[in-house]
Structure 1
Amino acid sequence: MTTTTYRVTGMTCGHCVNSVSSEISGIDGVRDVTVDLGSGQVTVTSEAPLDPAAVRAAVDEAGYELVDA
């Protein structure tokens, strides 16, 4: 298992958290997504390292922006 933390901007409420969690959970291999609304931190546990482009596309689909580390 691999755990990676990303920073997402634009989230302001529980609906935002649910949207981001739902989209990232749809990526193959993702086992868990935890979102901290206050900090914008999104922690993803997956079977293997994820393609950053896939994570960015999922966050974009949810309507938010992935901040480059």
Structure 2
Amino acid sequence: MTTTTYLVEGMTCAHCVSSVTEEVSSVAGVTSVAVDLHVGGVSRVDVVSDAPVTSDDIRAAIAEAGYAVAQA
């Protein structure tokens, strides 16, 4: 199992959390997603996988939900 953290901008409510969780969970290899929502700031998304998952796949899933990974 591998846990990777992504920082996501623009999330403001439980619906945002649900959208990101649904999209990221649909990526092959992802076993769970946990979101720490920070309204008006940068939220933390922890992705647990049991198979190799590329950051591009996760970023694409987050974008599909309507949000962007924060620039480091």
TM-score normalised to the size of structure 1? 0.92
Per the TM alignment, residue 68 of structure 1 is displaced from its structure 2 partner at its CA by 3.7
Structure 1 portions without partners, runs of 5+: none
Structure 2 partner of 1:53:
56
Structure 2 partner of 1:25:
25
| 1:3-43 C-alpha deviation (Å, 9 max, x unpaired) | 01110000000000000000000000100100011250000
Partners in 1 of 2:51 and 2:5 — Cα distance? 14
User: What are the within-5 Å matches in structure 2 for residues 1-69 of structure 1?
Assistant: 1-38=1-38, 39-69=42-72
Q: Runs of at least 4 residues of structure 1 off by over 3 A?
A: none
TM-score normalised to the size of structure 2? 0.89
Give percent identity, aligned residues only.
54
When structure 1 is superposed on structure 2, of 43-52 and 8-17 the one drifting more is 43-52
Per the TM alignment, residue 52 of structure 1 is displaced from its structure 2 partner at its CA by 1.0
